Amino acid sequence: MLEKIIQYSIHHKLIVLLFSLGIVGFGLYSLSQIPIGAVPDVTNNQVQIITTSRNLATEDVEKFLTYPVELEMANLPDVKEIRSISKFGLSVVTVVFNDKIGTYLPRQLIAEKIKSAEEKIPAGFGTPFMGPITTGLGEIYQYTIEVDSAHRDQYSLSDIRTIQDWVVKRQLSGIPGVVEVNTWGGYLKQYEVAVNPEKLRSLHISISQTFSALEKNNSVAGGGYIERTNQTYFIRGEGLVGSLEDIENIVIEIRNGIPVFIKDVASVGFGHATRFGAITGNGEGEKVLGQVMMLKNANSKAVIDAVKERVTQISPSLPPGISINPFLERSELIGKTTFTIAENLILGCLIVIFVVVVLLGNLRSGLVVASVIPMSLLFALSLMYIFGVDANLMSLGAIDFGIIIDGAVIIVEFIAFKISAERTKVLALPKAERQNFIDNITHLGASKMMHSAIFGQLIIIIVFIPILSLVGIEGKMFRPMALVFTFALLGTMILGFTYVPVMASLFIKPTDPDKKTISTRLMSFLENKYKPTIAWALRSKKLVLGSAFALLVMVGFLFTRMGGEFVPTLDEGDFVIQPVLKTGTSLSNTVLATTRIEKILKKFPEVDQVVSRIGAAEVPTDPMSMEESDVIIKLNPKGMGVGRKQR
């Protein structure tokens, strides 16, 4: 079978060359379409069910919010695990499903059950809802709303929070790949009616009457339409509150033709909702933070680029003195990772090409083998695009070109040897017959060595079967590496009996076998050093075998004493510290503590920005207590500051 393919390829060179160009073209297209990230997303298939209540204690949250939701979710199919967190005013239930059922079916199943859970929760205690379709790596862009020094007295924290919620957040929504724009910190603006109990008693008005009046006098109503003189007039009643004065002038009841207003029994003003988190930054006090969260399995680089473009468009429309400060974005890490991958691939490719050219002793043979490297890489990229494998440090960083082109080296070296051995006959033939003779030599040489080359490559692929069989977090982390390596080997195998014989027959020319080259001198030197060594080893079999066994035992002992990590340490260039204060510490005291920490850290010249996240955000996908915080330390680029290498 393989001999017929090789023979067909040599006799139909144009078809093979067009096939190779197709691999190059589709590979380049795939390179532009493959999602690019820093590391694989190992988050399991989970859905969060969040219920917020502004006034329930932790015990009541567990009893009235968390337990009913957990009970309803327990009977869902393909559930692996259910876990929950109950804090003051907050319940987060995480349901983990099997990966095989996908992303959206679990959400559909939960949506059907969440209604039943809602019916079991007492009225007014909270309404459960599902968290965004994102993962632990979904926080791709984080920013703070900054106020310059000239306008700092003009904006309160409530004003800045309002700008984030009603200006910035709304304009960042709708970007392809963005599933949520989360808000953290500041004060959520509210209209507050502070009822005076003494005035209520004196006027014999109950709180329920006051509440009912407020509720009924803040609405709109439609009245259909009427027709007059060939015209249609639509009727609508406008009753929405637009100012504090509107609330003050709401009528509770009328007594003897005299209205009793809200302002007669209460004071009306602006307030803020109970909050469970805060943001501080750079030792300047409280700020407002926004988190752009990416849709699960989206292209992080493309989404970040779209978000940055939208931020550029938003900035001119912001109020005077307001700016968006992106302090943490994934594009920096992706850029560093992409540069590392490209550097490793290019340097590895150049080293392999140099070694192959030097050891083969034939520039044409070396270039034929070297051309297989980018071809196999483009073939692997094509299959990555087809099978949905992301490009990241784990999938592309482990490619070994030396192993990949091993089969091509065997084939090309043998073909070059056979052509050089028939040098006299080749040169004696006329040009019209010379190519046919070289084609025959190429066919025989490739056919003879192809089985050995494929056998070696199949052994390597078989070695990856245990990695390909991994599931769960281990599979998500390491299977991309094995898949990409296998894709590249498959590409080399296909190119080995199509592209390589064609290029060898076209470019390899007969050389003088007696001519001394760098390769022959190097191999002679190594052979002279190797012969006495192998001769001594054959004479001292017991000593060699005993030494090898002792070395194996020693290495096994050292292996049991070595430390282990799941993945190598990734230097992202930034730090996160997590100070935890005494349980029960108030939010205001935690804000003061993190502000002091930031002032100390800002004294270091290597530090660019320090932002602290305290407690929980508006959509609490990663809830913390009010005494817990994440202090994010963003460092200056290398070269700025002193002692960056000794940090």
**How does pLDDT run across 236-268, given as a tens digit for each residue?**
888 888 889 999 999 989 888 889 999 989 999
Q: Is residue 183 part of a domain?
A: no
pLDDT above 70 coverage of the chain, percent: 97
Alpha helices in 46-122 (DSSP H): 58-61, 67-73, 104-120
Span of 261-270, 303-312, 452-461, 578-587 with lowest mean pLDDT? 452-461
- Assigned token pair, 367: 């270039």
Residue 503 in domain:
yes
Separation of alpha carbons 368 and 376, rounded Å: 13
pLDDT by residue (tens digit) across 276-310?
889 999 999 899 999 999 998 888 888 999 999 99
Helix (H, G, I), strand (E, B) or coil at 114: helix
Higher per-residue pLDDT: 53 or 361: 53
Domain end call among 272, 297, 328:
272
Residue-level pLDDT at 644: 47
Burial class (CB in 10 A: 0-12, 13-18, 19+), 545: exposed
368 and 506 fall within a common domain: yes
477: CATH: 1.20.1640.10
On whether both 382 and 249 belong to a single domain, the answer is no
Residue 588: pLDDT over 70: yes
In this predicted structure, the answer to whether residue 459 has a pLDDT above a threshold of 70 is yes
**458 and 390 both lie in a single domain:** yes
Copy the structure tokens of residue 220.
Answer: 């709109």
Task: Count structural domains, the chain.
Answer: 3
| C-alpha to C-alpha distance for 360 and 356, rounded to whole angstroms | 6
Q: Is the pLDDT of residue 166 over 70?
A: yes
Q: pLDDT, tens digit, for every residue of 512-568? A: 666 677 777 877 888 888 888 899 999 998 999 999 999 999 999 998 888 776 666
Q: How confident is the model at residue 613 (pLDDT cuts 50, 70, 90)?
A: very high
Asked if the model's pLDDT at residue 363 lies above 80, the reply is no
Residues 511, 482 within the same domain: yes
**Which residue has better confidence, 104 or 450?**
104
How confident is the model over 136-157, as pLDDT tens digits?
A: 888 889 999 999 988 888 899 9
Model pLDDT, residue 568: 63
- What CATH number is given to the structural domain containing 128? 3.30.70.1430
Length of the chain: 647
Domain boundary among 272, 292, 316: 272
The closest of 285, 305, 271, 329 to 146, measured between CA atoms, is: 285
Range of the domain at 214: 190-272
Residue range 367-402, pLDDT digits in tens: 888 888 889 989 999 999 999 888 887 888 778 777
Dig out the tokens for 397 from the structure: 């960083």
- Distances from the Cα of 400 to the Cαs of 38, 93, 230, 384, 417, in angstroms? 19, 44, 81, 17, 26
Count CA atoms within 13 Å of residue 13 on its CB side.
Answer: 14
The answer to whether residues 380 and 517 belong to one domain is: yes
Above 90 in pLDDT, residue 313? Answer: yes
Among 237, 254, 272, residue at a domain's last position = 272
Token pair of 150 as six digits: 């000239």
What's the average model confidence in pLDDT over 44-49?
A: 91
Written as six digits, the tokens of 308 are 């940055």
Instruction: Assess contact for 192 and 270: CB atoms under 8 A.
Output: yes
Take residue 381 and report the two structure tokens written for it: 């990229």
Find the helix packing angle between 406-421 and 472-496, rounded to 10°. 10
* pLDDT at position 7 over 60: yes
Contacts of 291 (CB under 8 A, 6+ apart): 139, 141, 142, 180, 181, 182, 183, 184, 617
Same structural domain, 411 and 501 = yes
Domain check: are 368 and 220 in the same one? no
76 and 223 belong to one structural domain:
no
| Dihedral sign, Cα of residue 163, residue 166, residue 171, residue 176 | positive
Q: How many helices (H) and strands (E) does the chain have?
A: 25, 18
Per-residue CA distances from 555 to 424, 541, 543, 547, 558 (Å): 54, 21, 18, 12, 5
Q: What is the CA radius of gyration of the chain?
A: 35
Q: Is residue 130 part of a domain?
A: yes
Same domain (yes/no): 434, 509: yes
Residue 296's SS3 state is coil
Q: How far apart are the first and last CA of the chain?
A: 61
Beta-ladder partners of 50:
92, 129
C-alpha 407/C-alpha 412 separation (Å) is 9
Cα–Cα distance for residue pair 213/203, rounded to 1 Å: 15
Q: Are residues 534 and 450 in the same domain?
A: yes
What one-letter code names the amino acid at 147? Answer: V
Residue 225, φ and ψ in degrees, nearest 5: -155, 165
Best CA proximity match to 20, nearest among 451, 368, 513: 368
Cα 247 to Cα 218: distance, rounded to the nearest angstrom: 9
pLDDT for position 522: 79
Left (φ > 0), alpha (ψ -120 to 50) or beta: where does 431 sit?
A: alpha
In a domain, 593, yes or no: no
Q: Is residue 330 part of a domain?
A: no
| pLDDT value for 452 | 81
Same domain membership, residue 204 and residue 74: no
DSSP 186: S
Measured CA to CA, the distance from residue 348 to residue 108 in angstroms comes to 47
Residue 348 lies in a domain: no
CA pair distance 476, 141, nearest whole angstrom: 24
Mean pLDDT of the chain: 86
Do 453 and 424 meet the contact criterion of CB atoms below 8 Å apart?
no
Is 327 part of any domain? no
Q: Which helix (H) or strand (E) holds 265?
A: helix 262-265
Average pLDDT over residues 216-228: 85
Q: Per the domain annotation, does 303 fall within a domain?
A: no
For residue 36, what are the CA distances in angstroms to 447, 449, 472, 473, 624? 40, 38, 22, 20, 31
pTM exceeds 0.85 for this model: no
- Kindly report the number of other CB atoms within 10 A of residue 540's CB atom: 12
Q: Say yes or no: 10 and 87 in one domain.
A: no
**What are the backbone angles phi and psi of residue 123, rounded to the nearest 5°?**
-60, 135
Residues 618, 125: Cα–Cα separation, whole Å = 17
